[in-house]
Amino acid sequence: MPHPSILSTKKLTTAQENLLLQAKIGLVSYSAIAIESTPAPSLPKNIENAIITSQNTFKAIQNKTTIKNAFVVGEKTATLLEKNGINVKIHTHYAADLVNEIKNKYAHKHFIFPCSSKRRDTIPEGLRNNKISFTEIEAYKTTLCPKKFNQIFDGILFFSPSGVESFYAENTISAKSVLFCIGTTTASAAKKYSENIVIASKPTIESIIISVVKYFFPERWEKTAKR
């Protein structure tokens, strides 16, 4: 088949780009959202138990507080926290799973939940429904950066519901475009626009890239996997 064209709604690292380019997949990337740290005056100087749902969250607060224990969504986020000397009590792939772990093991604790201005309801609703004490603090703002594209892409990579919202603010979907989503929450947002969706096996950038290669070149992927 001709070389597929992919649009990434997030700027990828050089290594991540190369994974696609080496597979003969054309790539266009841009930042569909922008992150801006906010003052967050109510953020405690010392946090006993913090719920951290993304690398962006940690980067927004890391110079403003110290964290003793972290309860984390995302493998890469957990690794970043551990590299900064923070004790990661639990990490899960999804927010709903984290709430469930907290309910089962740490329901008696109080949590600080720094988050984005566009945070999802999963964690605060889950904690409230289970009568778990927490304080929510807006630590950064997520701003949509809509951009119009005239090209029709074979695939579009989405990494958050906000990225989906930003893209569709200026674009419509072609029937041929496959929406590759990093996880189920992002896929739920994308389903408002298309049923042609592939969800990465793990919510990581590398996994979503693998899902692209497997989709467009299944025979090539099978040969690579057998090596």
| pLDDT of the residue at 174 | 81
Binned at pLDDT 50, 70 and 90, residue 187 comes out as very high
Tell me the C-alpha distance between 77 and 172, whole Å: 32
List pLDDT tens digits, range 23-39.
Answer: 899 999 999 999 999 98
| pLDDT of the residue at 220 | 64
pTM above 0.85, yes or no: yes
Say if residue 1's pLDDT is above 60: no
**Contact, 107 vs 49, CB < 8 A?**
no
Binned at pLDDT 50, 70 and 90, residue 2 comes out as confident
List pLDDT tens digits, range 132-142.
Answer: 999 999 999 99
**Contact, 135 vs 156, CB < 8 A?**
no
| pLDDT of the residue at 183 | 92
List pLDDT tens digits, range 78-96.
Answer: 999 999 999 999 999 999 9
